[in-house]
Structure 1
Amino acid sequence: MSKPFINVAAGLILRADGSLLLAQRPEGKPWSGWWELPGGKIEAGESVLEALSRELKEELDIDVTDATPWVTYTHEYEVNIVRLAFCQVTGWRGEPTGIEGQQLAWVDPHQALTVGPLLPATEPPLRWLRLPDQYLLTSIGSSAGLAPFLDKLTAALENGIKLVQFREPGWASSDADALIHEAFQQVLQRCHEFGARCLVNSCHPESWWAEADGVHFRAQDAGSSAALRYAESQTTSSPAIPPDETCDATRRLIGVSTHNAEDLPTARNLNADFVVLGHVLETPSHPNEAGMGWQRFADLAQEASLPVFAIGGQSASTVEIARQHGAHGIAGIRMEDKH
């Protein structure tokens, strides 16, 4: 007998200081006493954001004024299957109140939680929420470009960049691998000086992967035996992404580049922490090659079941439109001042 399938809208209600609202399920309901993200069933004819607004009014007596789609995630419980459309809520009128008698708590998602236990489906979004919203890719190119790039990297780190990918497939062929490896080590060290994480792209030797804070797999590499081995090696580590201020080598990150619907299951099979999807808009690196556009990006992001970074033509001017289409953040070789 098949299990009931329920579509749910759930809100990550976020204050300006980054604190997140959790609610305790009241007595008389399944999983009573467990903590969750507020929300509820999507009724027939409702959009996700319409359902979320209605549920938060009914549960918390707040009127949502600013919400964006985020990650859509399916979780199978013993008695049913729940498809949760998580949305980030950053604007509302009123003070959240437990209308059904439920306890509420504001928590810092970057620290150990002061309440619990959490519903199983609530754990992944709290982990994903700790990911930075900008992802910088290196653009060194040759030994001559290293010093200028390190200056640019330092400026970006000073401006708040916390996630970097060392990716140099086009490094001048006259340079030996040893020089590229030395550059990677310098980038890694510079990131750690600022409490940032540095992933290494899978185009570089597997022997480098253990040095980095994670591996970013190209789409063509994500299904390889090496990728599967790496993913398996991370299952024995702590499942939580540590706070942005630390670089905990016991839990390395896994990112995957994706370009179409066929790439997404491979990323999920690796238990990736996030995917990069694109290219969205036309870019200098893809001249005369049209991007997938925002609507196609949104459709694929909804299928990902993971946080998605938009890549291709991204800058500070596209951050908001990326979020409106379900992006966690943006990725690229030029990250502008966040402050």
Structure 2
Amino acid sequence: MDAVLHVISDRNRHRLPLLEALVESAKGGADVIQIREKKAPASETYGLVRELQQICTEERLSSRIFVNDRVDIALSTDVAGVHLAAKSLPIPAVAQLRRQTGWHGLIGCSVHALDEAIRAERAGADYVTFGHVFASESHPGLPPRGLYALRRVAEALSIPVIAIGGIDKTNVGAVLETGCSGVAVIGSVLNAEDPLDAVKCLKAAMEKSDVSPKVPFRLAAPEYKRADPLTASHAKEG
């Protein structure tokens, strides 16, 4: 089973203190931890990323850290990816920054329809997140896109498609049957009393799927050799 699990932060949907919940998610085996801070000051988001990086380095946790929207923070902390929304910088602009700076992180993009997904791939996105698949607290009152729409996107694209929206251990098997590359969750992990156990249960349910992703989600390009971000930062400052 090559499908990956992304856990996305949300300051309004967690039981444990947010940093603790994210660390526990990493300990449980989340492949990606995405820091999404829509309203927090840049300094606050930067601090959260740095704290999480330091803990993951010290405890040898393998989760990769992505940042939502904030390309500046992604570059300055050398995280493994940046995830763009509709109001973020355009994908080609971020790709140009990547070439200019030598950063090797992935560029992801949220999409909600097949035509948006196709445009994102053509613009240079490394992966897309499609949703919401099921009813979700993040989108109250909005009808979900459903599994059929997810399958169409997964079939049409040649880059990884991550499903999001109302996904938990009871329905993740049906989601993976569409051929998507993995799932992204918020509430099913962060709202749990024990995020570590929640991640393990979700990963166990994913392991039961006998459908391989159409396109495996590669957490880094083959040539990407990730340095310790704290060490790299100190070297630059020195």
- TM-score, scaled relative to structure 1: 0.50
Partner of 1:154: 23
Report percent identity of matched pairs: 25
Structure 2: distance between partners of 1:317 and 1:231: 38
Is contact 2:66–2:80 with CA below 8 Å preserved after alignment? yes
Partner of 2:127: 274
**Compared with structure 1, are the counterparts of its residues 291 and 317 closer, same or farther at alpha carbon in structure 2 (3 Å cutoff)?**
same
Structure 2: distance between partners of 1:258 and 1:225: 16
**Compared with structure 1, are the counterparts of its residues 198 and 178 closer, same or farther at alpha carbon in structure 2 (3 Å cutoff)?**
same
**Compared with structure 1, are the counterparts of its residues 158 and 318 closer, same or farther at alpha carbon in structure 2 (3 Å cutoff)?**
same
Deviation at 1:312, TM superposition (A): 0.5
Q: Which runs of 4+ in 1 moved over 6 A?
A: none
Is contact 2:23–2:52 with CA below 8 Å preserved after alignment? no
User: Match for 2:28: what amino acid?
Assistant: N
Deviation at 1:322, TM superposition (A): 0.8
Per-residue displacement from partner, 1:270-313 (whole Å, max 9, x unpaired)? 44332110011111121111101111111122112211111000
Partner of 1:221: 88
Per-residue displacement from partner, 1:98-144 (whole Å, max 9, x unpaired)? xxxxxxxxxxxxxxxxxxxxxxxxxxxxxxx5xx61011011359xx
**Compared with structure 1, are the counterparts of its residues 178 and 220 closer, same or farther at alpha carbon in structure 2 (3 Å cutoff)?**
closer
Structure 2: distance between partners of 1:177 and 1:272: 24
**Compared with structure 1, are the counterparts of its residues 265 and 227 closer, same or farther at alpha carbon in structure 2 (3 Å cutoff)?**
farther
User: Match for 2:136: what amino acid?
Assistant: T
Structure 1: distance between partners of 2:56 and 2:81: 13
Q: Kindly tell me the number of residue pairs found equivalent between the two proteins.
A: 188
Per-residue displacement from partner, 1:192-214 (whole Å, max 9, x unpaired)? 44122111111x2x321211212
Structure 1: distance between partners of 2:92 and 2:126: 19
Matches within 5 A, 1:43-192: 133-140=4-11, 148-171=17-40, 176-192=41-57
Q: Which of 41, 58, 65 is equivalent to 1:198?
A: 65
Partner of 1:315: 168
User: Match for 1:297: what amino acid?
Assistant: L
Partner of 1:14: none
Is contact 1:223–1:266 with CA below 8 Å preserved after alignment? no
User: Match for 1:133: what amino acid?
Assistant: V
Partner of 1:291: 144
Is contact 1:214–1:252 with CA below 8 Å preserved after alignment? yes
> Larger RCO: Structure 1 or Structure 2 (Cα < 8 Å, ≥ 6 residues apart)?
2
Structure 1, unpaired ranges of 5+:
1-17, 19-128, 237-249
Larger radius of gyration: 1
Deviation at 1:316, TM superposition (A): 1.7
Deviation at 1:262, TM superposition (A): 2.5
Structure 2: distance between partners of 1:225 and 1:313: 30
**Compared with structure 1, are the counterparts of its residues 332 and 147 closer, same or farther at alpha carbon in structure 2 (3 Å cutoff)?**
closer
Partner of 2:219: none
**Compared with structure 1, are the counterparts of its residues 148 and 311 closer, same or farther at alpha carbon in structure 2 (3 Å cutoff)?**
same
Per-residue displacement from partner, 1:5-51 (whole Å, max 9, x unpaired)? xxxxxxxxxxxxx7xxxxxxxxxxxxxxxxxxxxxxxxxxxxxxxxx
Partner of 2:210: none
SS at match of 2:19: helix
User: Match for 2:144: what amino acid?
Assistant: G
Is contact 2:91–2:125 with CA below 8 Å preserved after alignment? no
Structure 1: distance between partners of 2:149 and 2:42: 38
Partner of 2:209: none
Structure 2: distance between partners of 1:233 and 1:311: 31
Structure 2, unpaired ranges of 5+:
190-197, 205-238
What is the alpha-carbon root mean square deviation over aligned residues? Answer: 2.7
- TM-score, scaled relative to structure 2: 0.68
Structure holding more strand per residue:
1
Q: Which of 141, 160, 184 is equivalent to 1:331?
A: 184
User: Match for 2:145: what amino acid?
Assistant: M
Deviation at 1:320, TM superposition (A): 0.9
